[in-house]
Amino acid sequence: MYFFEFFRIKLLLLAFAASQANQKPHPTVGVIRWDAWNLFDGQFDPISYYSHRCLSPEKFHYRLPFFATVLSPTNTSYNGDLQSVMDQEILYAKHAGLDYWAFDTYCAYGPDCTTNSTYCVEYLKIAPHYCPRDPAYGLRQYLSSQYNSLMKFTLLLLGSSPCDPAVQQGYLELMVHPQFLTVLEGRPLLYLFQFDDAEADLCGGGWAGSKEVFNKFRQMAINRGKL
């Protein structure tokens, strides 16, 4: 139950930021997306496996997403990695009055949680077995949707992975997208999640060094005209 309560709380979390719309400040309402509802090569992604396992008992079927199928009182099936699913999610979110999604960003892992990234190895110490094969499927489907102009988006940076220069370059590319959420006269809004002492040590040898890493990342964004 802890897994599901945590997941439900995250999905219902409201993040507020100042809006520039019509030059009148008002709350901008966003929701964190944890995309854990997909198949990979016909099998449930390693993270999606846990959501599938928790929702398979009949008493939890009422929590299933609209694109799920109930196969039996003890089994369900779903695959959110479809353009049609994302398109409908955007329309539902817009109807509900949401302004943006904050996509969780994950390391991508190979079979049996393999990775060549020290940052991704460190995250497995926090969450063993949470090693998705295709963590960005939700963001990818959002970016390719014909309806993405209806919803802004931003990123929730996970653990120490945003300290990786290669990962930072990917973030910078996304931050110039016309639908990327900005506040305070055009500054991109980002979130940082699960960044504790261990992540700070890995990132920059401690909090002071990590501050410098993120200051350099900020400067790269400034150089691209995004701050």
Q: Tokens representing 182?
A: 């900005």
Give the model's pLDDT for residue 226. 55
Q: Provide the sign of the torsion angle of the four alpha carbons 144, 100, 165, 184, taken in this order.
A: positive
Q: Which of 170, 52, 48 is nearest to 105 (CA)?
A: 170
Which candidate, 52, 78, 80, places its Cα nearest to that of 141? 80
Six-digit token pair at 153? 């988006």
Q: How far is CA 41 from the centre of its chain?
A: 21
Instruction: Output the pLDDT for position 14.
Output: 37
Q: Is 219 exposed, middle or buried (0-12, 13-18, 19+ CB in 10 A)?
A: exposed
Residue with tokens 């809006």: 19
Q: What is the pLDDT of residue 25?
A: 66
Q: What is the mean pLDDT, run by run of 10 residues, along the chain of 227 residues? A: 39 39 70 91 87 93 94 93 97 95 90 86 79 91 97 92 87 93 89 88 93 93 75
Closest CA to 114 of 43, 200, 46, 204: 46
- pLDDT for res 93: 96
SS3 content of the chain, % helix, strand, coil (to 5): 45, 20, 35
Which residues in 19-165 belong to E strands, given as ranges? 27-33, 39-40, 43-44, 69-72, 75-77, 100-104, 152-158
Q: What single string gives the DSSP state of each residue in 3-62? A: HHHHHHHHHH--EEEE--GGG---EEEEEEE-----EETTEE-TTHHHHHHHH-SGGGGG
d(CA 179, CA 181): 6
Q: How many CB atoms neighbour CB 54 within 10 A? A: 15
